[in-house]
A and B are shown apart, each in its own frame.
Chain A
């Protein structure tokens, strides 16, 4: 199945565009998606989303599925569906 990852600011630069489509096996959860992305983008991506030498996501990285924060779903275990839009948002400031 395909999911769309929408990112902004430095994460958008690393992924090469604000929207990227990623093909993942049916039943993939958020954790699996991020693991798959690290396989594609490697070391250029992982320090920006994971704590060093860890698969724990940095505290200020936000993940949302169709606008809903994963904390309000099943967290990293949340199962993705075909066509989902995953927001991957780094810390911003200002306003």
Chain B
């Protein structure tokens, strides 16, 4: 029934009963959702009922590569991790690359569904079709890099691929991530879901390979993709040697590099200290994900002070923001050290840095005092205080316990008007781009089903000036509903479901990503999709996720921004004076819901739209 790409097999691991069973992947699911985040969403929707405790045994974690994962299609061997997020209460997903996803396919699995809760700390090893449950007593408490090494030694196999949690996930920090070598499935607290299941790690080893339906079509589609890579004006020439840190310079120039908990965008722009030139002074090498010819990850070594000698893969742009501009820390070596420490502790570097920046603003405003911080001078720019608090968050010590669940929970506990300074949407901390100067990017933050998530509908038109599908004015709100729908649906289909690295969408395939996915799918799997049908897969995912969230109690009022973005215009820089007023947001949302075929008053998908997407069961459950 499957001729390539898919193995047609799902592995269901029940931690309560310590059992593993093989199931078939229905062909209809593959056709409707392709794989990755779409496949994960389908199982989450069907199996996790509304109101389920995200940290209880009934939540599930779905590890879903896609049909291209493990093939030699460049930059496509990724996977999604999907579960209900303890941080937002909404759909949680995080995509990750590295080598684990391809190995999972070599072991023969289109997805692994983890359910239940182990009685005591456990790790699971998968070798092809054999699944073993191991006592994780001696691993519990370890940092993530040590944990991975201990498992490799235990299995006597240095090439085993591992995902695991650190002390933060064990302590159910709602901003805990899952670490995969030195990479992360970072956001939405999915590391805490692993911790809640007493699952420290999964190790995988496979000896199979991924079948290709038509070698001839495969060669043609792959070489077309590689040609687009070569013709890109930026991919090999600039992005490959520089990686994401070049966006520090770009957003600084555009006046949208958020700083000091979003209080100083445009005024405080430490590009000289943290931008690309500075990053290059610490660069010692590069890293690649499986079968990636680009290798955007930069290895950096801290050189000064207490941080000298600390090596990290990164920091990426978002981490330079979260541990750098957001906290006012301009010591690059401290940012490198914080990036490494967050990975070792298993904390999402983005949410962790934003939460520390939030606490710093509260400290400067006197809402938090030295009595609250245990005497730590938590002022903006204090790198040593940042490092101390970061560690305390993972171990839930002192002020760290207050901050370990992100800004929303911390603000609820602190009170005193602190919510005003908590930079999150639906509980997820904001990424770096100050969207007062990039309106569609902002509308995506407000409407993305995972909360403030740049990866759900990145507006490359506004950030990079790429005029696809049309040219836009980043400062205008006109037409941004339609654009955001396009960005969210195309990205969901081609990057989240078909698991292509999103950087390829921006750099090489902005106008051809759906054609590229369609040609590759036919070659690899034999399944025929038109480019429009590919885009529909993305739309289907966005609608099903929306229905999941509505059933969890989310309404139109949750599609919003922190107060600051709607009331405080940017004070300086190339976006000076920009703000997104409540009226601007209302107009953009009205247009967005209309474009989506959702009820404009409530933001709820209509039955007609859900039926058009083949989601009539979701419409029944929603009662529309």
**A87 and B255 alpha carbons, distance in the complex (Å):** 11
Contacts A69-B473, A71-B471, A87-B574 known; A94 to B317 CB distance under 8 Å?
Answer: yes
On whether A67 and B465 interact (CB within 8 A), knowing A8-B249, A10-B238, A94-B503, the answer reads no
Asked if B574 and A91 sit within 8 Å, CB to CB, the answer is no
Q: In the complex, which residues of chain A have a beta carbon less than 8 angstroms from the beta carbon of B463? A: 95
Q: Is A67 in contact with B576, judged by CB distance below 8 angstroms? A: yes
**Beyond the given A92-B464, A94-B245, could you list 10 further A-B residue pairs with CB under 8 A, ordered by the A residue number?**
A9-B246, A67-B255, A72-B475, A91-B234, A91-B465, A92-B238, A92-B249, A93-B506, A94-B247, A95-B318
Q: Are B575 and A92 in contact (CB under 8 A)?
A: no
Contact bitstring A28-61, B, C-beta under 8 A = 1, else 0: 0000000000000000000000000000001110
| Alpha-carbon distance between A12 and B242 when the two chains are bound, in angstroms | 15
Q: Are A94 and B473 in contact (CB under 8 A)?
A: no
Structural contact, A9 and B238, CB atoms closer than 8 A: yes
- B243 within 8 Å of A (CB atoms): yes
Q: Is B276 an interface residue (CB 8 A)?
A: yes
Is A92 a contact partner of B474 (Cβ separation < 8 A)?
no
Question: Cα distance A68–B296 when bound, in Å?
Answer: 31
Is A89 an interface residue, CB under 8 A from the partner?
yes
Q: What residues on A are CB-neighbors of B255 within 8 Å?
A: 67
Assess the A62–B247 pair: CB atoms within 8 A.
no
Using a CB-CB cutoff of 8 Å, which residues 231-281 of chain B contact chain A?
233-235, 238-239, 242-247, 249-250, 252-255, 271, 276
**A95-B454 contact in complex given A9-B238, A67-B576, A71-B471, C-beta closer than 8 Å:** yes
A9 / chain B contacts, CB cutoff of 8 Å: 238, 242, 246, 249-250, 276
Please, which residues of chain B bring their CB within 8 A of the CB of A92?
Answer: 234, 238-239, 246-247, 249-250, 464
Asked if B458 CB lies within 8 Å of chain A CBs, one says: yes
Give Cα A69 to B466, complex, Å: 13
What residues of A have a CB within 8 angstroms of the CB of B467 in the complex? 59
Contacts of B575 in A (CB 8 A): 67
Chain A neighbourhood of B454, CB < 8 A: 95
Taken residue by residue from 440 to 482, chain B's Cβ proximity to chain A (1 for < 8 Å, 0 otherwise) reads as: 0000000000000010001000011111000101111000000
Kindly identify which residue among A10, A18, A60, A85 contacts B465, using a CB–CB cutoff of 8 Å: A60
Minimal Cβ-Cβ distance residue in A for B237: A10
Can you report 20 residue pairs joining A to B where beta carbons are below 8 Å apart? A6-B253, A9-B250, A9-B276, A59-B467, A60-B464, A64-B574, A67-B576, A69-B473, A71-B471, A91-B233, A91-B234, A91-B465, A92-B246, A92-B247, A93-B239, A93-B246, A94-B296, A95-B432, A95-B433, A95-B463
Q: Which residues of B contact A94 (CB under 8 A)?
A: 239, 242-247, 296, 316-317, 503, 506
Bound-state CA distance A89–B249 (Å) is: 10
From 58 to 83 in chain A, residues with beta carbon under 8 angstroms from any chain B beta carbon are 58-60, 62, 64, 66-69, 71-72
Find chain A residues with CB under 8 A from B476 CB.
72
* B441 to A, closest residue via Cβ: A95
B597 at the interface (CB under 8 A from A): no
Q: Does the CB pair A91–B253 fall under 8 Å?
A: no
Query: Quick check: A89 and B253 within 8 Å, CB to CB?
Result: yes
Residues in B whose Cβ lies below 8 Å from that of A90: 238
Tell me if B238 and A95 are in contact (CB < 8 A): no
- B407 in the interface, Cβ–Cβ < 8 Å? no
Contact A93-B235, Cβ < 8 Å, known A60-B465, A67-B574 = yes
Interface centre among A18, A92, A93, A94 (most CB of B within 10 A): A93
Complex Cα distance A92/B242, Å?
10
Contacts of A59 in B (CB 8 A): 467
| Chain A positions within 8 Å of B484 at CB level | none
* B292-309 at interface with A (beta carbon < 8 Å): 296
Shortest beta-carbon contacts, A-B, top 7? A94-B244, A67-B574, A93-B239, A8-B249, A62-B465, A92-B250, A93-B507
Contact residues, B404-451 vs A (CB, 8 A): 432-433, 437
CB distance from B204 to the nearest CB of A (A): 29
Q: Which residues from chain B contact A12 at a C-beta distance below 8 Å?
A: 249
Q: What B residues does A62 contact at CB under 8 A?
A: 465
Chain A 1-35, CB-CB to B under 8 Å as 1, else 0, gives: 00000111110100000100000000000000000
Report Cα–Cα, A72/B239, bound state, in Å.
28
Please measure, in the bound complex, the distance between the C-alpha atom of A72 and the C-alpha atom of B276, giving whole angstroms. Answer: 29
Does B573 lie at the interface of the complex (its beta carbon under 8 Å from any beta carbon of A)? Answer: yes
Q: Give Cα distance in the complex from A60 to B239, angstroms.
A: 15
With A6-B253, A60-B465, A71-B473: A93-B234 Cβ-Cβ less than 8 Å: yes
Q: Are B473 and A72 in contact (CB under 8 A)?
A: yes
CA distance A90 to B250 in the complex (A): 9
Q: Which residues of A lie under 8 Å from residue B506 when comparing CB positions?
A: 93-95
Q: Are B473 and A85 in contact (CB under 8 A)?
A: no
**A3 CB to closest chain B CB, in angstroms?**
14
Chain B residues whose C-beta falls within 8 Å of the C-beta of A68 in the assembled complex: 475
Nearest-neighbor residue (CB-CB) of B575 within chain A: A67
Determine the chain B residues whose CB is within 8 A of the CB of A89 once the complex forms: 250, 253-254, 465
Contact check, A91 vs B238: say whether CB atoms are below 8 A apart.
Answer: yes
CA distance A90 to B318 in the complex (A): 20
